[in-house]
Structure 1
Amino acid sequence: MTMVALIPARGGSKGIVGKNLALCGGRSLLDWTTEAALQSGVIDRTILSTDDDAIAEAGNGLGLEVPFRRPADLAGDQALMLDVMQHCLAALRNEGTDVEALVLLQPTSPFRRAHHVREAVQKFRARSAATLVSVVRVPHRFVPEAQMREEDGKLVPYLGGQVGRTRRQDKEVSYGRNGPVVLIVRGDVLDSGMLYGSPTVAYEMDEIASIDIDTPEDLRLADHLMKTGYA
């Protein structure tokens, strides 16, 4: 069966115009993600899903497959990633490809490297997972027992009890999806209309590797980290 990396890169980004081809550390966001997929050693095919001619041309130049164009109804602000993945899966099946899983690699994660993709796929297979999602550990000050809410003008513990009674070391470890930077989903899970099947397993990444480019400020930070050699 075929392990397929899917890189979704529509052309209509509004937060950062032309975001998927925006430069970060002297290379486009699309370039960083392409390198991670192609050098991972665990991906059989790497597919670019786009509606944009310039992105398609750039993808071809980087060594990506562009076997189809994403339809307009899947390229707008309201398009769901589930639908984009199902569209890719259907196109691959129509050409006779037996898909093991789709590995979603969004170009907005320039600090994802080949070893992250490789380790994620290895864990997905080792755990016989339906879905694998990359996560980042939530800082202890943001875990549920450390949170407060305002009630009648006063701060009260979000979960009840008393805030500050739990030592940092004793707080429950929590995780948040980091984009996700890597999302691996079996074909039958996508067929059922879901992204998260059972079992879903986590692949933990650090805070720098988890940086997701959503705003111009995110891009400037990532570019600075790249150029200063911090990451």
Structure 2
Amino acid sequence: MKKKILGIIPARGGSKGVIRKNIRSVGGKPLIHWAIDAALKSNLISDFYVTTDDEEIKSVAAAAGAKTILRPAALAEDKTPMIPVLQHLCEKAEDLNGVQYDYVILMQPTAPMRTSDHIDSSIYFLLENSNFDSLVSVYKVDDCHPSRMYTCNDNELIPFYEEPTGALRQDLLPVYHRNGCIYLCERSVLMENDKLIGNKPYAFIMKKSESVNIDDEDDLLMADYLMSRKSNLK
């Protein structure tokens, strides 16, 4: 039986780090367009929705081809955790469609370089490997390796992680960082265990060049440049 996959794109209106970031221009289109476009081109997502509290974002998302579900203000505050937002959307989508989904995939708009190929590859892997209950997209860390990081106490540098003596960069233990592109899990992980990352998550490794995640204005400028360049190369 074909598995039912629910895609969720969260986009609240009150972002603080980058004001109105979900509808800011990136590569000549609203940022949220790129997540919607990737979801629309997926061959494995059954249904997907944008969850938002904002009427302008709702209109922009609809123009890009997405269905939206408005969330209550209580689920759109600065410190609202992601889990209840996803649970709310899942419950609403299941009521609307009269189904129970098997898997839920979160696609954050702030990671615009995710493609439908990334989405379908991750879903296909999890469907074929039942020993994993979830999947998270990551990229390999190089210059920002923990062995080169410090805490600071009254301007005194304190090593965060003890770097092996004489170790070359290429000899360091490989470390991976979540890039925000894909979080995929069995429905039970989200709805019953109140988690997005289960007890046995799979590392879906992406390139660093595919892993721009927008947290500030500098990130937005970088994403705009890369997505504009990507569009011009097509």
Q: Which residues of 2 match residues 44-59 of structure 1 at below 5 A?
A: 44-59=46-61
User: 2:50, 2:153 → 1: CA distance?
Assistant: 48
> Is contact 1:23–1:29 with CA below 8 Å preserved after alignment?
yes
User: 2:205, 2:221 → 1: CA distance?
Assistant: 25
Q: Which residues of 2 match residues 52-201 of structure 1 at below 5 A?
A: 52-66=54-68, 68-95=69-96, 96-128=98-130, 129-139=132-142, 141-147=143-149, 158-160=160-162, 163-178=164-179, 180-190=180-190, 191-201=192-202
Q: What SS does structure 2 have at the residue aligned with 1:133?
A: strand
Q: What SS does structure 1 have at the residue aligned with 2:70?
A: coil
User: 1:18, 1:148 → 2: CA distance?
Assistant: 33
Overall identity of the aligned pairs, in %: 33
User: 2:161, 2:73 → 1: CA distance?
Assistant: 44
1:136-172 CA distance string (max 9 Å, x none): 1011x43344555668987665445x65422333221
User: 1:109, 1:152 → 2: CA distance?
Assistant: 35
TM-score by length of 1: 0.88
Question: 1:17 and 1:154, CA in 2 relative to 1: closer, same or farther beyond 3 A?
Answer: closer
Question: 1:117 and 1:165, CA in 2 relative to 1: closer, same or farther beyond 3 A?
Answer: same
> Is contact 2:183–2:197 with CA below 8 Å preserved after alignment?
no
1:22-77 CA distance string (max 9 Å, x none): 111101111111111111211111111011111112222222122x3111011111
For structure 2, the residue ranges without an aligned partner over 5 or more in a row are: none
Match of 1:39 among 41, 47, 51: 41
1:214 corresponds to 2:227 = no
Q: What SS does structure 2 have at the residue aligned with 1:208?
A: helix
User: 2:227, 2:188 → 1: CA distance?
Assistant: 38
Tell me by how many angstroms 1:18 deviates.
1.7
TM-score by length of 2: 0.87
User: 2:164, 2:158 → 1: CA distance?
Assistant: 8
Amino acid of the residue matched to residue 187 of structure 1?
A: R
Match of 1:9 among 8, 11, 17: 11
Amino acid of the residue matched to residue 114 of structure 1?
A: S
> Is contact 1:146–1:163 with CA below 8 Å preserved after alignment?
no
1:92-122 CA distance string (max 9 Å, x none): 2334221011110111111111111111111
Tell me by how many angstroms 1:133 deviates.
0.6
User: 2:111, 2:103 → 1: CA distance?
Assistant: 20
Q: What SS does structure 1 have at the residue aligned with 2:221?
A: helix
Match of 1:205 in 2: 206
> Is contact 1:147–1:163 with CA below 8 Å preserved after alignment?
no
Q: RMSD across aligned C-alpha pairs, in angstroms? A: 2.3
